[in-house]
Amino acid sequence: MARTGIHWMARSMRARRHFHEELEALELEILSLGELAERALGRAVDVLTSRDDAEIDAVIAGDDAIDERYLDIERRWLELLALQTPVAGDLRLLSVIIHVNLHLERIGDIAVNIVKIARATKALPANQGILTHLREMADVVRPMIRASLDAFVKRDLELAQRLPEMDDPVDRLNRSMYREVAACSDDQDILEWAIRMMIVSRQLERVGDHAVDIGEQVAFLLTGEFQEFTDASHPEVGPGR
């Protein structure tokens, strides 16, 4: 009986060790997915200027790799959940992984949306001021993606809580885009292109939101309490803020 108990304990310890090894492997997969999504977004913004068909095709094709990674993480997540009953801390980590996985996949989708808009407006004249505006937004949200993942891997609550402040310039730029578009009203072709760029601006603003949401998940992982960093019940201040 004693030997049977020892063997059971040994198997249980091996199972727990395997469980945590798989958790660590999933975290590495999340980081790899984040790199793919962030890189795709950068290429998509570059395409707005270059209008390169080959690069547009490459970003769209690259989304297949992002989707495959996303689905693989989800599959392994389900297998891991079925392996054994996680304790509270492990269950929180599993919950955070599946949420972060979804946010990163959505960022990949946003990159595809942007290059499709670039293709649809390729024949229209562009406005350099608006392109600069969008580049400024991308130069903020791309580091936000990296910061959110750094907060996750380093278990850095302070960094996670700084993400809403990092997102403030993105929100301001998105709200002020209407002035850039209104300035194009004298030229119908440029105006048509500019209106589509408002959609791009909104897409980039959503990337910032995804990064903030990842930060919220990190805070939940570290504190055990979920709290939204921004309160959607309070309306935004108008465009002049």
Write the CATH number for 15: 1.20.58.220
Q: How far is CA 209 from CA 65, 84, 110, 170, 220, in A?
A: 23, 34, 12, 9, 17
Model pLDDT, residue 17:
75
In a domain? residue 238: no
H or E element that contains 58: helix 53-83
In a domain? residue 152: yes
CA 180 – CA 136 distance, rounded (Å): 14
What is the sign, positive or negative, of the torsion defined by CA atoms of 137, 142, 145, 147?
negative
CA 95 – CA 105 distance, rounded (Å): 16
Tokens matching residue 92: 């929180």
Number of structural domains found in the chain = 1
In a domain? residue 165: yes
Residue % of the chain over a pLDDT of 70: 88
Model pLDDT, residue 234:
39
Q: Is the pTM of this model over 0.85?
A: yes
Model pLDDT, residue 241:
32
In a domain? residue 201: yes
In a domain? residue 241: no
Tokens matching residue 116: 């499709």
Mean pLDDT (whole number) for 185-193: 94
φ, ψ for residue 13, nearest 5 deg: -65, -40
**Residue 202 CB coordination number (10 Å):** 13
Go through 115-139 and write b for each residue having 16 or more CB atoms within 10 A of its CB, e for each that does not: bebbeebeeeebbeebbebbeebbe
* Residue 2 pLDDT class (50, 70, 90 cuts): low
Model pLDDT, residue 237:
36
pLDDT at residue 239 greater than cutoff 70: no
Model pLDDT, residue 219:
96
* Residue 81 pLDDT class (50, 70, 90 cuts): confident
Model pLDDT, residue 6:
59
Which structural domain range is residue 88 located in? Answer: 2-223
Give the residue, 72 or 1, on which the prediction is more confident: 72
In a domain? residue 230: no
Mean pLDDT of all residues in the chain? 89
pLDDT at residue 56 greater than cutoff 70: yes
The DSSP line for 67-101 is HHHHHHHHHHHHHHHHHS---HHHHHHHHHHHHHH
Residue % of the chain over a pLDDT of 90: 76
In a domain? residue 88: yes
In a domain? residue 236: no
Give the residue, 234 or 211, on which the prediction is more confident: 211
- Of 202, 140, 190, the closest CA to residue 165 belongs to 140
